[in-house]
Amino acid sequence: MTSTLILSVETSCDESSVAIIKNGRDVLSNIVASQIDIHKEFGGVVPEVASRHHVASITHVFEEALRVANVTPADLTAVAVTEGPGLIGSLLVGINAAKAFALAHDLPVVGVHHIAGHIYSNHIVEPLQFPLLTLVVSGGHTELVLMKDHYDFEVIGETLDDAVGEAYDKVARTVGLGYPGGPKIDRLAQEGKETYDLPRVMINQDNYNFSFSGLKSAVINLIHNHKQRGEEIRNKDLACSFQNSVVDVLSHKAIKAVKEYDVKQLLVAGGVAANSGLRKRLIEEMEYIPNTKLVIPPLKYCTDNAAMIGVAGTFAFLRGDRSDMSLNGRANMDL
């Protein structure tokens, strides 16, 4: 493989992140300035607030990434940046910073799909081997992606409504747990028991699609009915019941696809890949499928970060992808 040193930028939501990736796998630095504490006050990400904070922090994050990696701009091969999908005002801050940096240092720019980044975060742990399947579970996406080669993405199933992270965040808000809900429900679920009966939506359908809005509504109705009857909801047990429903459906469909497509690897990607219940279940189930290796990124590479964009960006760069100075943000974008 040609040697590469890529500076990558990710600002699609509420993390301003810049990384330096050597030869597509070595993370020399991965600086993430999180805005979680700011958005917590509002109970979710406020797009305009996110853009303003990206503007305030991005230059410093660039400097830190270069300093930690001990790299100067002259050493770099290219700049990779998240093109979409995401919050448009947030994306534009990273894209403009990346273009200005590339122009100043005469470097090529490569636009990267955010979900390609999540998928490629696994390559840091274990080199990708094809064919492979990725279970993408984030705040904005839930899909099963088949890859027969680098940068060859085939979505074989996806959510028909809410993404799984979105369902976590909405349920957490209804229960009054605040933002971000996923990790909070996960923590509670580990202390609870499955005592509430919740649906496993689409689990027995003969396809790889998902639906989480019905489950979310079932939880909201359950809370409402208990309130009307003046009964207390046990949050730990509700969290456990909700998590088990989610994990049952995700693992059932992922394992079914692993068997059908006879893949060498099953990757998990996106913020919900940090979920303890999902990780545990997949590890258990995949023991029975010894020819397919399960790869799950460490927690720091599950949620949004620039390292994953740098890894995907390296493969995009090597196959000849180049963006020019008209590169723009795309709120919606197919993989």
303 binds ligand KG4 (CB under 6 A): yes
304 binds Zn ion (CB under 5 A): yes
- State the nearest-atom distance from the C-beta of 72 to ligand KG4, in Å: 30
Q: Are 242 and 215 in contact (CB under 8 A)?
A: yes
Say whether 182 counts as a known binding-site residue: yes
Residue 17 binds which one of ligand KG4, Zn ion, none, with CB within 5 to 8 A depending on kind? none
- How many C-beta atoms surround the C-beta of residue 14 within 10 A? 26
138 binds Zn ion (CB under 5 A): yes
**Segment interacting with Zn ion, rule: CB under 5 A, options 14-22, 134-142, 181-189, 283-291:** 134-142
Q: Are 118 and 324 in contact (CB under 8 A)?
A: no
Give the integer Cα–Cα distance in Å for 250 and 230: 34
Task: Pick between residue 22 and residue 141 the one whose CB is nearest to ligand KG4.
Answer: 141
Tell me, by CB under 6 A, how many residues bind ligand KG4.
Answer: 19
- The values of phi and psi at residue 268, to 5°, are -120, 140
Scan residues 121-180 and list those touching ligand KG4 (CB under 6 A). 138-140, 165, 168-169, 180
35 binds ligand KG4 (CB under 6 A): no
Positive or negative: CA dihedral 253, 255, 260, 264: positive
275 binds ligand KG4 (CB under 6 A): yes
Name the site residues for Zn ion (rule: CB under 5 A). 138, 304
Name the site residues for ligand KG4 (rule: CB under 6 A). 13, 138-140, 165, 168-169, 180-183, 186, 270-272, 274-275, 303-304
* Binding-site annotation, residues for Fe cation: 114, 118, 304
